[in-house]
Structure 1
Amino acid sequence: MSQVRCVGGILHDDAGRLLLIQRAHEPGRGRWSLPGGRVEPGETDEAAVTREVAEETGLVVEPGALVGSVVRGPYVIYDYACTVRGGRLLAGDDAADARWVDAAEFARLNHANALTDGLVDTLRDWGVLPHNVE
């Protein structure tokens, strides 16, 4: 089975909330994850994450540093820290919903088994879980 290169965007707002989307399609339909998707042929990771985040959330972002990568089945996902530069949060394309999630809501989604497999451990390892800003 060949690998499929994918990207994801890691975005926090000024309150420390993390941007999540609810997946509208498989894999992980109905579960919450980072916005992202496949890199198209000839597309850079940066262009792909900008496009995917815009398609799924309505937000215009500027990709920054690579935070890390994970392998999920045939998918190799490269996750980038992103900064919002414009747009308006609105679920679209492959997202059933999109929202900023604080630490309490993230814990509730985790307890309800509503997050994609491995998301909590990966984000914890990378130090990018939602956090409360006083």
Structure 2
Amino acid sequence: MEQRGETQDMTPSREDTGRRPIVAAIAVVIQGGRVLLVRRANPPDAGRWGFPGGKIEAGETIEQAAVRELFEETAIRAEARHVFTAVDAFDRSGTGALRRHFVLVAVLCDWLSGVPAAGDDALEARWFNLDALDDADLALSLDVAMVARQAAAIVMRAP
């Protein structure tokens, strides 16, 4: 970036490297009172149920990333409707030290076709009744139930 004949170094300092949040898109698909979730294979939250999603690639919109990640992780084809919320996800070491901070941008998506099949970094992919998200035995990532309910409320209000 040039300003008044000088160039500004945009290279992150040593302190910034790996310390800035990573932006990722998550696809939230609600259909018939059910939500599509995947059991994560990788940190953060490996082994827990969450929304299909991943890092946004350079030149890709949030909506494109959500739809791409959804298909890669579940074989579900969908159309992005709109961004409706964002949540934080922290990847911490066994001692609690922050390794990575993700900002997960939630995109409401309309199911077009497909049957859930785990792929990419998902161990499992399946539909859950919204009521099942209250089950204490279901290992959900933080904020999954809240985000699913926000999406369901949007879907219910739609004409």
Whose relative contact order is higher, 1 or 2, with alpha carbons under 8 Å and at least 6 apart?
1
Question: Match for 1:48: what amino acid?
Answer: A
Gaps of 5+ in 1: 130-134
Shift of 1:122: 4.1
Q: Kindly indicate whether residue 74 of structure 2 is the aligned counterpart of residue 57 of structure 1.
A: yes
What CA RMSD, in Å, does the superposition of the two structures yield over aligned residues?
A: 1.7
Does the CA-based 8 Å contact 2:77-2:111 persist in structure 1? Answer: yes
**Residues 40-85 of structure 1, C-alpha deviation per residue, up to 9 Å, x if partnerless?**
1221111111110000100111101111011223111110110112
| AA of the residue aligned to 2:143 | G
TM-score normalised by structure 1 residue count: 0.84
> Which of the numbers 42, 58, 64 marks the counterpart of 1:47?
64
- For residues 141 and 76 of structure 2, the distance between their equivalents in structure 1, rounded to whole angstroms, comes to 22
* 2:115 alignment partner in structure 1: 88
Q: Which of 10, 13, 29 does residue 11 from structure 1 map onto?
A: 29
Percent of aligned pairs sharing the same letter = 32
- Answer whether contact 2:28 2:151 (CA < 8 A) is retained: no
2:106 aligns with one of 79, 86, 91: 79
Q: By how many angstroms is 1:3 displaced? A: 1.5
Runs in 1 of length 4+ with deviation above 4 angstroms? none
Which of the pair has more CA radius of gyration? 2
CA distance in 2, matches of 1:10, 1:121: 12
Q: Which amino acid aligns with 1:103?
A: L
* TM-score, length basis structure 2: 0.72
- Aligned counterpart for 1:66 among listed residues 66, 83, 86: 83
